[in-house]
Each structure stands twice: as structure tokens, then as C-alpha cells.
Amino acid sequence: MQDVLIRTLEKVELRDPILIEGLPGVGNVGKLAADYLRDQLPAKPLATIYSKFFPPQVYVGENGVIRLVSNDLSYWKAPASSPHDLLVLGGDYQGISPEGQYEITERVLDYCSGLGVHEVFTLAGFAQGRMVEEPKVLGAATHLSRVETMKKFGVVFSRTDPGGGLIGASGLFLGLGRLFGMEGVCLMGETSGYFVDPHSAEAVLKVLSQVLLLSLDFTSLEAKAREIDRIAQKIHEAEQRPSETSGAAAPREDLGYIG
């Protein structure tokens, strides 16, 4: 098997397509957002990506049939009134090594470049190490003009966050994308980092939908967010109990991470 194998499922011609990446990471924000977007459009399967840089694993379905772990590229043909079709990259894992991250990202970008992609949006979570009730969407971009445009949509560009830069696919698709002549933006939803965060994924998708003029129904995602809120409330209540008997709960160290 090749290090990275991309199997095309259907040949399509796309109009100036935009690539949207959302792979598993902190709070699974990017993956949730990309999966939800793919289902809402709805996007159709275009290619499956296999790699030696994914974990040596297969998933077993409810019927007992296995499948090799993979990433998936889907496409959506926009109405004639829109100048851009969309490509959505999601999947099971990011590369499990630095070499793998670079190799997979470069191969996918090369493939997408052949389809006419010149613009990339990456979706991710930014862990704050604490509960976040109303997540802001932080941003990073390949060009200053992109920064100024995204500020108009409420995206926050901070000198201190993310302090250590972008880690993983959300950063590499922008950094390597520039080598392919692509411009792009990373949208990072604030999240605690403790568990899967549909609330943060919704915040990211709302910004993206405004930028790309997409009409999305957030009902299902909002229901998932309410369930997470209930879980978070239980965690909060459990954290408060020690302070009732021993003074104050030990402070948590803030933790910043992109994925």
C-alpha cells in the first residue's frame, strides 16, 4: 500500500470549488462541524483517503462488516447563483505523526488543486481549559486581507490566542495551501477541551454559513448542544461540592490547544 492512497469514487467538474476541512481534534469541533455541514448540504462522496499514517485499525459496523479507517472528501454543487461549489474533508483521524500530517495534507491539497481549489477554510477547536458558555470564534488567515474580511463576521483575531500557533491539520492546510497558491482561514471555536462540543461547532458553522451564504438548519446540532450543557452543569455542580466542605476548589490551569 502507498503511504497515502486516494481513491476517486466519482469524476466531477466543479466551479471554482472551496475546500472546507474538519478533522477530529480538540472537542471534535472541526469534525462535528464538517460532518454536520456535509449532511446539511447534502454533499456527495467524491474520494476516500487511506494512509499508513492513520492508526492500524478497522471499524466494525452493526452488521459485523469492517471498514478500514479513512478520511473522506465530499462535494456539493451549489446553485447557479453561487460562484463556488464546495468540497468537505472529514474522517476518522488526523495523521498520527508529524511526517504523516505533512504527507497526508500535501497529497490532499495536490488532489484538490487538480479540481480547481484556490480557497480553504479549516475548522477547529481552541481549548480554554475551562467551561465556555458562549464560545467566541477565533481566527487565523493566510493574508491580511482575509483577516480584515473575517473581522466583519465577528471573528476574533488575537495577538495572544492561539499563543503557540496552529497545531495539526487546521494549520497545515493553510500553511501548505499557500505553496499551492491557495488563500485560507482557520475558524476556531472556543471549547473547554473536556468533551465533544457541538455548541462550539455550531458557533463555527454559523460564521462559515454567513461567509459562504449557506442556509443551514441548526436544530439537530442545537439539540446536541443542550445535552452537552446538561452534562456540563452536572460537572460544574460536582466541582462545587468540595468547596462547600473545604473552602475553595483548587484552581485549574488554563490550557490552550488547537485541533
Task: Kindly list the structural domains of the chain, giving each domain's residue range(s) and its CATH number in brackets, ordered by start.
Answer: 4-240+253-258 (3.40.50.10900)
Cβ atoms within 10 Å, residue 36: 23
Q: Does 218 or 130 have the greater pLDDT score? A: 218
Burial of 71 (0-12, 13-18, 19+ CB in 10 A): buried
Given a cut of 60, is residue 185 above it in pLDDT? Answer: yes
3-state secondary structure of 92: coil
pLDDT value of residue 2: 93
pLDDT level of residue 225 (50, 70, 90 thresholds): confident
pTM: 0.88
pLDDT value of residue 188: 96
CA 226 → CA 37, 178, 205, 222, distances in Å? 19, 38, 17, 6
